[in-house]
Amino acid sequence: MSTRKFILVPVFIATASVALAQSDTAKRTVAALPETLEATGERAPQPVPTSSAEDISDLAPENLRFGIGRPATEEQIAAIDIDVMPDGRGYPEGSGTYAEGEELYLQECSSCHGENLEGVADLGAPRLIGGRGSLASDAPVKTVESYWPYASTLFDYVHRAMPMQAPGSLSNDQVYAISAYILGRAGITSDNPDTTLDKQSMTEVEMPNADGFVPDPRDGSPEK
């Protein structure tokens, strides 16, 4: 290491700090230590949290009117309200075909779940199809086809958390298409390449194990 390089290091750090401070998108990556009180050298306490509410004219803590928290706007809700329910609530607009899904599956899913949706145990990626009629056997096979009670769960989960290497990256159309492919391969919907799934048709899909679930009967007694 030369002396020149050594001198350049602090200069670089100083420049970088200025650049960070000037950038609107700069985010802090750590907290600074508490400040020191000049008079005594003590550490300053944490700042008092500031409520986001603006109107404090009508406070009544005994009635839970704390003047804390703000109404959520429709935009704020819509930005993260991604869940889909079995009765169709929450499905976004859009559609996708089995053929599109097949292509997408091979690109986005097959490296973990296998080319034939058979799963890859070494990656922890489960098998997606097959296993019908096995649930009461000594070797139950739990897949989307054999076990999952609602098609909405498939859409919701792929949309929010798949693929593992880029979760949440698929468009609504792409998720419809991948759903059409998986459900088609499972023999639940048609495997005709033109088979199209959308909000309406997804809601109408009947899963083989829809009636396979019972409410939890446990009450702490030995017979349950």
Partner 1 sequence: MSHNERFPASRYGPVERKMAESLVELESRILAGETEEDCDCKEGMFNGLSRRGLLAGGLAMGGAALAGGRAAAEAPPGAQEYYVQPDPTKEQGRIILDDGGYGSRSQFENEVRWRYPTASLDSSWSMTPLASGHGVITPSGLHFERHHGGIPAIDPETHTLVLHGMVDQPMRFTMDDLKRLPAVSRLHFIECSGNGLTEWVEPTLKTVQGTHGLTSTSEWTGVRLSTVLEMAGIQDSAAWILAEGADAAVMTRSVPIDKAMDDAILAYAQNGEALRPEQGYPLRLLLPGYEGNTHIKWLRRLEVSDKPFMTREETSKYTDLMPDGTARQFSMEMDTKSVITFPSGAMKLPRAGFYEITGLAWSGRGAITRVEVSADGGQTWQEAQLEGPVLPKCHTRFRLPWTWTGEEAVLQSRAVDDTGSIQPTLQELVEVRGTKSVYHLNAIQSWHIAANGEVTNVHA
Written as six digits, the tokens of 200 are 């309406």
**Given the structure tokens 């690109």, which residue do they identify?**
107
How do strand 95-97 and strand 196-198 relate by DSSP bridges? Answer: antiparallel
CB of 155 to partner 1, least distance (A): 11
Instruction: Please tell me the total number of residues recorded for the chain in this structure.
Output: 224
197 neighbors 179 (Cβ within 8 angstroms) = yes
Q: Which stretch binds partner 1 (CB under 8 A): 98-106, 117-125, 180-188, 189-197?
A: 117-125
105 neighbors 114 (Cβ within 8 angstroms) = no
- 204 is an interface residue for partner 1 by CB under 8 A: no
The number of residues that bind partner 1 (CB under 8 A) is 68
Q: What CA dihedral angle connects 173, 178, 180 and 185, to 10 degrees?
A: 170
Cis peptide before 163 (omega within 30 of 0): yes
**Given the structure tokens 């009636």, which residue do they identify?**
211
Written as six digits, the tokens of 25 are 């998108």
Single residue of 9, 37, 56, 106 touching partner 1 by CB under 8 A: 9
200 neighbors 92 (Cβ within 8 angstroms) = no
- 121 is an interface residue for partner 1 by CB under 8 A: yes
Single residue of 85, 88, 106, 107 touching partner 1 by CB under 8 A: 85
Written as six digits, the tokens of 102 are 């097949």
95 neighbors 179 (Cβ within 8 angstroms) = no
Closest CB to partner 1 among residues 1, 39 = 1
- 201 is an interface residue for partner 1 by CB under 8 A: no
Q: Which stretch binds partner 1 (CB under 8 A): 17-25, 84-92, 102-110, 190-198?
A: 84-92
Binding mask 31-70 for partner 1 (x = CB under 8 A): --x---------------xxxxx-------x--xxx-xxx
Single residue of 91, 98, 105, 150 touching partner 1 by CB under 8 A: 150
Closest CB to partner 1 among residues 167, 187 = 167
Give the footprint of partner 1 on this chain (CB under 8 A).
Answer: 1-3, 6, 9-10, 27-28, 33, 49-53, 61, 64-66, 68-73, 76-77, 80-83, 85-87, 121-124, 135-136, 140, 142, 144, 147-150, 152-153, 156-157, 160-161, 164, 167-168, 212-224
